[in-house]
Structure 1
Amino acid sequence: MWPRSFQERLRLSRRWQAGSHPPSNDLDPSELVDFVLVFRYPVNPSILPPTNASTGRTVVEDRSDLEQNAIEAYQEVVGRLHKLGLEWYVPTETSSPGKLFLFVTCPDAVLKQWMVHGKVQDWLAGLRGITPADSSDATVNEETHIGLTRGDHSPNSPRHAADAAAMTLDHPLAYLLQSDGQTAQVIPPAERLRLVYHRLTARPEEGGAGLHPDVHPFIETLYPLHNKQFTRHWIKTWGTKWLINHHDLQRIREYLGEEIALYFAFLQFYFLWLLPPAFVGLVWYLQGKTYSAPMALFIVCWSIAFVDMWARRETDIAVYWGTRHLGRVREPQPLFQPDGWSRHPITHELEPYFPLWKRWSRRMVTLPLIMAGSVFLAGVVGFLFALQTLTDEHYSGPGQAYVTYIPMILYSILMAKAGEMYTGLAKRLNNYENYPTRSEYEFHLTQKIFVLSFLINYLALIITAWAYIPFRAQVNHALLQFSSTILQGKIYGDVGDPLKEGRHGELDNGQVALKMSQTPADQLMVNQLFFFVMTGQILSLAQETIIPMATRYGTQWLQRRGTRSRTSAEGATVGSTAHSRSDTTSNSASNSDLHMASDKVAERSNGDNFEAASTESDKDTEEHPDKPTPSSSPVTVPPRLLRRLVKRALREYDLPEYLSYDDYSEMVTQFGFIVLFSVVWPLTPVIALVNNWIELRSDAVKICMNVRRPIPQRAESIGPWLDNLKLLCWMASISNTLLVYQFGTLLAPTPDTQLYGHTHLPTALGALLITEHVFFGVWFFVRTLIQSFPSVADKMLALEDYRQKVGLSRAFSLTSALGSTESGQGDMGGLENVAQEQPGGASLVGHDIPRDDPGFELISSAFKVA
């Protein structure tokens, strides 16, 4: 049976659901559990390294030893869950040899304690939120906060007025507690999952269970389940509107957390700010203007204004969401491995210790490896560029129309593999550097990933503009001389003068023909940029949305077809009672892989989908009640709901994890194409505008259907990606200057400049020196102009400060009138103990775990299989 907290989750989910969706009689299975924890253990004996160097004999571990180790590991895992106060359920339908699924849920009482502790720590760190009073009212009255502090007292009593005034003082529990000690509002799903995940993955010394998949050897993964009611409503709502509003962002924040909501806020803000450059670019394109100095100046100024305005916007959002100064809360990184524990020299608090010199020494080790990986990646890009240039510009032999597609195919294959290898190297090196907090870890990993994105997307364009085109004559000469030696052909044309050779040289040996590149320089840049912008956007949409959906539906179709074929071949028939279906499902799931288990669960539901009704589910419950979990007493759960839950857990187990790095990297890369190379092809902002309108919806579909539900995290900023945007703005002042000078019409064109551009180096350096100073001057002016206007956050904070001052004055006056200064502190009992709570260091293995837990029986049965 399910844990007792099921009734709490049912009530909690209905209350949360009523505030966001129309009332529904069908509960979503994801609202029953918080996380699905996958416990993986070896079943077959493993070959261990030799224990005796002289004999060289290997030790083969016996199955009984493996079974004992698995049982002890499972005992440790459930003991840690039990010590935290969590409850779990092990459905037999999901079991397979070597793998168990634990459905973990957190009781409300335990969650409330964690939330109180977290809010106190946030308050001590300086996080401040805006009270939910009407921001248009600059005065404080008792009724404004009656929803936060109402109790048994009369609203007009002095005691109630004092409590209400005290609650306006940005108290950490102001919105959480009522005067009677009950929860004042339902905790949003994102906040609930964030708190539970933090406790599950935090180190035992910090009050957690230490069950992070990268830390605990028997934990394969843990993930929350999607709420299909919410995701369907989300996709339907966004698919029928042009723009999203703050209510949509608030719902995303409540469901997925501030980090994902902030990404969509950035994407919406970026989409709206693309309207001016898209309009200007379209006008310039229709007029046939490329490499225009006014266009370059406009793009640089626009990029500066966009970055500064977004920095202000994200501050407003952080203040409104109560995540401002989140960096002061040092959230531990689960992968951090301290050398020991020491006391802070000022606060004397016990904290993990890792020497600074050791971290810098590790950075000195990882830096050459990152550089080597970057050089390798640059080499792959250079090879693909050379191959593309050879097929597009020089090859004129048989099958030329098909040969030009070879570099594109190789680019899609090699760059994906090289990028995967580089990302894996970056993550391993980032783990080796051993950062103590989540913010530090993500900052350095983001910078490493940005290097990857920069090389893959911009290096070929940089080589084309400032290496190949200026030295195209020399490259052509060397290519033809080398090819004539290899192919034993004859060069036609004058090879003595590289400039003439660039227009007249040709090689032909009767089979392979090579020619000189005669494409104008400006058109060559347009071709390259068009390839990266258009091909990149299409490939990104296909890889993120179309291919995963097609693969998933195709796999499900093959599984259903395979299930029907196996059933027909074996002559199996579905029994007339739910009892026979249940036994068949349990036996099949215990001796097959997870996909077979999912198929049997689907058969057990009699072909019904997630929204269908089962007429025999009640009979199934009456005839075959489940075993009680070791952590609670029996509670009746509808079998149909259980089947849907198990089926969904198995399906989402096969989905990949969501990483916000990929989406941010895509948007920042697109921003780089706009600010660095829009003068080459003015339609670049137009393409980005259309793509981002689609991206808003395709990313929602991707998160809802193609990846696991993201684990909610808080955020006050887009972090290092903002620094990368500023870096691209500075680089835009350089690239636009060089492109306008090389290929623009400011200087009179000549036949040679049409092929090679203007290549006078002193003139180019002088132009760079002037424009860079102009760039910093414009940036200073724009920033000063923006800061001269008060932001929304400034107004909200000023209003909040005024409310706190008035509330403090009123609280003191009212409590003095009552003759006691302790009446306003009645609701704060126990806070001191919560704030000073120290994590325990006792053993995490529970002492009250009964042996009738289904997990022990499933592990033992796995080793009895021949």
Structure 2
Amino acid sequence: MLETTSYDPLSPRSSSDEPRSGEEDLEIDWVLTYNFDDIEGAEAAEEFRKLIHQLDGRGLQTQVRHGYGQSLLVLIRCPRNLLGNEVYRSRVKDWLHGIIHAKPVGDSKTVVKADTPAEALRSAYHLITWTHEQGGAGIAAGHGNWHRVTESFPPQDALANRKLLKYLAGRTFLNDSDLDKIRALFGEKVAFYYAFIQCYSIFLIIPTICGTLTWLFSGPYSSAFAVFTCLWGIVFVEYWKRQEIDLSIRWDVRGVGGIKVNRPQYVWEREEVDSVTGELKRVFPTHKRILRQLWFLPFAALAGVVLGTVLLVTFALEALMSDVYGSVLEDRWYLQYLPTILLSVALPYISSSLTDLATKLTDFENYRTKDEYDLAQVQKSFVLNFITSFFPIVLTAYVYIPYGSRLLPLIVPPTWDAKNVVNSFDVDPGRLQEEVISLSMAAQAMNFGEEFLYPFFKRKAFEFWRQHHRQKRAATFHERDHSSPEESKLFNDSPSEARWLTRLRQESDAEEYDVHEDIMEMVVQFGYLTLFAPAWPLMPLGFLLNNWVELRGDFFKLSSESQRPPPIRADSIGDSVAALEFLTWLGTLSTAALVHIYGGPGPISTTRPSRLLLSIFVAEQVFLAVRFGAKHAFAKFGSEAVREAEAKRFMMRKTYLETFSEEKAGTSRRVRSRTYAGERRGSRAVGLTASNPGTPAGDLSPVKELEKQLPSITVNDEPSANTQEFDSEYSTDAAERFWTEDLEALDTAEVGVRLIKALKAWFAKSNDSASIDDRSKAD
């Protein structure tokens, strides 16, 4: 008899259940979690049947297994010919829109193998989530009819992740080949983040050396170090913009944002014919979106007032307790930390509320593509992070230290002792350096805690909760496990599936990975450096050490503590580049002000506002001049990737030209000569197609007409290597058994319905038993 592994819907996660290196792949391409705890069994069964019917209608293979609690895991596999055809169609679409320049060989039935796992998973993602009109099954998790599909993710490749994590841990710096490995597993959007943090970390080496020398031989507020950090920031941002172009060309994604499909949540008002592609596109009026985007201004004002007020009140209380009543509270030193504790408790809730408001505002703005939506969300996130991260230091540097002795008498209680203390009080300028050190380094420590420690303890808490409830309900589960053999088969995992299914249940319970959060963390770090580096020249050293750990820690979080993100393509880090440019400009002004106020020979009180404004004005003009020079210098030197791409395009055009026959070339020249002369003669007039003289050109788009005229050739690519059929549908025997042997000879929908009924009955009985036990204890 086949040995089985008993499963408890409330069983805790176990790190020891990772797949062995020799375990055969079950070829699960995608996983959906269907949660039915809020509806009756009959309604859940009907909805689940519709879900499976929609997936089957697209030609996808499905299996169903139980998940945590009242949920099911829908395991999806794309037949290899269907997946290979989707890969081919995606490449054709890229070629039509100029993303790639070599025309893919084949026709509408061509099947090709994906170059990377990310490309295959992206095509599977399209087949599952795109609408019927776009060629998919239309299963958008959490939206429309599928709001009970709570999770949608590709499974992690645990073996590849471990190998790559071990490899990265032994590397001091990453090269392009290393970034290609990350891109192959997780896609271009994630790879761009690692390229950015790698480039930024390498650039930190020079300010680290200069900052250390400045700290040893000059001290804080050095004019030379201030000028250097400003120049460094400008050069880095311009260099990174060039790197984005190089990487987008290397990965064939330059301009990919222009071909993204509509979001399921996008609400359109009318349809128009695209003048280039001839396809129908769904449009939301631009002027309406602009009017909606104007609500960003009151949102920014609200965020500034709320967060600014909280930070200002906390700052005032801290100043009173430490500087005014410090001697009185010396025996009760812990009270001095009360404002900071209150801020630490209140700020996450306030930030979370504002983030939810920002999300609703972004939803209201109604963006067409996921990229546009994410960029709008990044803008709002930057505003919140800017206020919470930099406002306390700005308040200390430009308000409290210069004017604290005059402002404190306005807020202290009208007692003689307090007034006496304030009248003889001077703010120590060293407080700014302490503030910069504590906040900049504390931000890195807090981020580490949020990314690694918090998920760890959260997982342990859930394990404890599940273990506690499992012990309470063990007797009930044992009864059901032995009272019904059919249900036992439904609930038990076979040994060949057990480790895979355990891992998939863990992943379904994990947090979604958001690469924009990691990018924003690096943007905020860059802001600390450009705005306040002169106050503490060792800041670059601290950030460099942090980033070495951060890069590897982020990959561990991505591969082990989070769901694998859909391998979405991108050609940059998005609007974060604009945030870097803004921080570079603002950092130049801040650096000039800090050095002028704190780096002079006299006391701060002797600073003249007119000279301070003049210093800021001169710094801004120098910034504009240096940025202009840096842009033109990088443009002058050019890029090897750009040159190679231009050469490849030229060779392809030349090859295309040589393949045309003399008759074809002559016809083309005659048509072009009439076009230039403005002649319109019957069916040969411009605006009519040559193949069908009575058909207007609007009925056959210019792109499609061009595709018909061009021959099917490629450059540096053998057609046979890209058009051959798959040798076998399944790569392993385990995968073939898993996808071809249905449980009890039932289809997926019926197996899922049985699981729904069994789980509903199990939870109902266990809840009744728990209620009886509670009443017995009460009696």
Query: TM (normalized to structure 2)?
Result: 0.79
2:550 is equivalent to residue 683 of structure 1: no
Amino acid at match of 1:526: Q
2:11 is equivalent to residue 79 of structure 1: no
Give, in angstroms, the shift of residue 814 of structure 1: 12
CA distance in 2, matches of 1:126, 1:333: 22
| Contact 1:43 1:862 (C-alpha < 8 Å) held by counterparts | no
The aligned counterpart of 1:194 is 122
The aligned counterpart of 1:108 is 80
Q: After TM superposition, list the pairs within 5 Å mapping 1:313-324 onto structure 2.
A: 313-324=243-254
Amino acid at match of 1:776: L
The aligned counterpart of 2:752 is 855
| Contact 1:90 1:102 (C-alpha < 8 Å) held by counterparts | yes
What is the aligned counterpart of 2:400 among 459, 468, 482? 468
The aligned counterpart of 1:248 is 178
Give, in angstroms, the shift of residue 28 of structure 1: 4.6
| Contact 2:122 2:568 (C-alpha < 8 Å) held by counterparts | yes
Query: Deviation per CA, 1:568-595, whole angstroms, max 9, x where unpaired?
Result: x899799xxxxx89978955987xxxxx
Query: Deviation per CA, 1:454-486, whole angstroms, max 9, x where unpaired?
Result: 001001111111222222122121133xx13xx
What is the aligned counterpart of 2:639 among 791, 798, 802? 791
The aligned counterpart of 2:285 is 355
Give, in angstroms, the shift of residue 726 of structure 1: 0.6
Is the alpha carbon distance of 1:420 and 1:116 closer, same or farther for their aligned partners in structure 2, counting shifts above 3 Å? same
Runs of at least 5 residues in structure 1 that lack an aligned partner in the other structure: 1-22, 45-65, 129-169, 494-500, 505-515, 575-579, 591-600, 605-638, 832-848
Query: Deviation per CA, 1:190-224, whole angstroms, max 9, x where unpaired?
Result: 11222222332333443333322231333222122
2:628 is equivalent to residue 780 of structure 1: yes
The aligned counterpart of 1:55 is none
Is the alpha carbon distance of 1:445 and 1:227 closer, same or farther for their aligned partners in structure 2, counting shifts above 3 Å? same
Is the alpha carbon distance of 1:825 and 1:352 closer, same or farther for their aligned partners in structure 2, counting shifts above 3 Å? same
Runs of at least 5 residues in structure 2 that lack an aligned partner in the other structure: 1-19, 665-707, 723-745, 766-779
State the percentage of identical aligned residues.
Answer: 27
Q: After TM superposition, list the pairs within 5 Å mapping 1:441-590 onto structure 2.
A: 441-480=373-412, 483-484=413-414, 490-491=417-418, 493=420, 504=424, 516=425, 518-521=426-429, 523-553=430-460, 555-556=462-463, 586-587=487-488
CA distance in 2, matches of 1:584, 1:264: 51
The aligned counterpart of 1:94 is 67
Query: Deviation per CA, 1:249-294, whole angstroms, max 9, x where unpaired?
Result: 1111111000111110111111000001111111111124211211
Amino acid at match of 2:59: G
Q: After TM superposition, list the pairs within 5 Å mapping 1:280-679 onto structure 2.
A: 280-344=210-274, 348-365=278-295, 367-396=297-326, 397-398=328-329, 399-480=331-412, 483-484=413-414, 490-491=417-418, 493=420, 504=424, 516=425, 518-521=426-429, 523-553=430-460, 555-556=462-463, 586-587=487-488, 639-679=494-534
| Contact 1:343 1:349 (C-alpha < 8 Å) held by counterparts | yes
Give, in angstroms, the shift of residue 659 of structure 1: 0.8
Query: Deviation per CA, 1:312-332, whole angstroms, max 9, x where unpaired?
Result: 111111101101121321332
The aligned counterpart of 1:259 is 189
| Contact 1:223 1:709 (C-alpha < 8 Å) held by counterparts | yes
2:584 is equivalent to residue 725 of structure 1: no
| Contact 1:811 1:824 (C-alpha < 8 Å) held by counterparts | yes
CA distance in 2, matches of 1:815, 1:197: 45
What is the aligned counterpart of 1:203 among 131, 141, 166? 131
CA distance in 1, matches of 2:584, 2:477: 68
| Contact 2:34 2:149 (C-alpha < 8 Å) held by counterparts | yes
Secondary structure in 1 matching 2:32: strand
Secondary structure in 1 matching 2:368: coil
Amino acid at match of 2:336: T
Amino acid at match of 1:490: D
Is the alpha carbon distance of 1:589 and 1:684 closer, same or farther for their aligned partners in structure 2, counting shifts above 3 Å? farther
The aligned counterpart of 1:749 is 602
Amino acid at match of 2:152: L
Is the alpha carbon distance of 1:587 and 1:413 closer, same or farther for their aligned partners in structure 2, counting shifts above 3 Å? farther
| Contact 2:52 2:748 (C-alpha < 8 Å) held by counterparts | no
| Contact 1:370 1:426 (C-alpha < 8 Å) held by counterparts | no
CA distance in 1, matches of 2:489, 2:539: 55
| Contact 1:43 1:863 (C-alpha < 8 Å) held by counterparts | no
Query: TM (normalized to structure 1)?
Result: 0.71
The aligned counterpart of 1:613 is none
CA distance in 1, matches of 2:468, 2:581: 53
Secondary structure in 1 matching 2:754: helix
Secondary structure in 1 matching 2:569: coil
| Contact 1:28 1:227 (C-alpha < 8 Å) held by counterparts | no
Query: Deviation per CA, 1:630-686, whole angstroms, max 9, x where unpaired?
Result: xxxxxxxxx323111221121112211111121111100000111110011111111
Is the alpha carbon distance of 1:676 and 1:758 closer, same or farther for their aligned partners in structure 2, counting shifts above 3 Å? farther
Is the alpha carbon distance of 1:566 and 1:267 closer, same or farther for their aligned partners in structure 2, counting shifts above 3 Å? same
| Contact 2:452 2:557 (C-alpha < 8 Å) held by counterparts | yes
CA distance in 1, matches of 2:244, 2:483: 53
Secondary structure in 2 matching 1:221: strand
CA distance in 2, matches of 1:447, 1:386: 30
CA distance in 2, matches of 1:851, 1:673: 54
Secondary structure in 1 matching 2:142: coil
CA distance in 1, matches of 2:432, 2:487: 63
Is 396-405 or 215-224 further displaced after alignment?
Answer: 396-405
Query: Deviation per CA, 1:703-738, whole angstroms, max 9, x where unpaired?
Result: 112211122111111111111101111101110111
Query: Deviation per CA, 1:42-75, whole angstroms, max 9, x where unpaired?
Result: 555xxxxxxxxxxxxxxxxxxxxx4443333223
Secondary structure in 2 matching 1:714: coil
| Contact 2:103 2:712 (C-alpha < 8 Å) held by counterparts | no
Is the alpha carbon distance of 1:90 and 1:852 closer, same or farther for their aligned partners in structure 2, counting shifts above 3 Å? closer
Query: Deviation per CA, 1:792-847, whole angstroms, max 9, x where unpaired?
Result: 2222113313432453355458999xxxx999649999x9xxxxxxxxxxxxxxxx
Give, in angstroms, the shift of residue 787 of structure 1: 1.7
Secondary structure in 2 matching 1:853: helix
Which structure: greater helix fraction? 2
Is 200-209 or 727-736 further displaced after alignment?
Answer: 200-209
CA distance in 1, matches of 2:450, 2:72: 31
The aligned counterpart of 1:716 is 571
| Contact 1:435 1:441 (C-alpha < 8 Å) held by counterparts | yes
Is 546-555 or 293-302 further displaced after alignment?
Answer: 546-555
CA distance in 1, matches of 2:497, 2:181: 27
Give, in angstroms, the shift of residue 352 of structure 1: 1.5
CA distance in 1, matches of 2:168, 2:358: 35
Amino acid at match of 1:228: A
Is the alpha carbon distance of 1:566 and 1:348 closer, same or farther for their aligned partners in structure 2, counting shifts above 3 Å? closer
Secondary structure in 2 matching 1:470: helix
Is the alpha carbon distance of 1:860 and 1:553 closer, same or farther for their aligned partners in structure 2, counting shifts above 3 Å? closer
What is the aligned counterpart of 2:24 among 17, 27, 30? 27
Give, in angstroms, the shift of residue 438 of structure 1: 2.1
Query: Deviation per CA, 1:309-368, whole angstroms, max 9, x where unpaired?
Result: 111111111101101121321332232122344434665522223223332333344542
The aligned counterpart of 2:771 is none
| Contact 1:28 1:228 (C-alpha < 8 Å) held by counterparts | no
The aligned counterpart of 2:34 is 39
Is 82-91 or 186-195 further displaced after alignment?
Answer: 186-195
Is the alpha carbon distance of 1:73 and 1:267 closer, same or farther for their aligned partners in structure 2, counting shifts above 3 Å? same
Q: After TM superposition, list the pairs within 5 Å mapping 1:63-212 onto structure 2.
A: 66-91=40-65, 93-94=66-67, 96-97=69-70, 99-128=71-100, 170-173=101-104, 183=112, 185-212=113-140
Amino acid at match of 2:444: Q
Amino acid at match of 1:769: F
Give, in angstroms, the shift of residue 244 of structure 1: 2.1
2:606 is equivalent to residue 771 of structure 1: no
| Contact 1:470 1:759 (C-alpha < 8 Å) held by counterparts | no
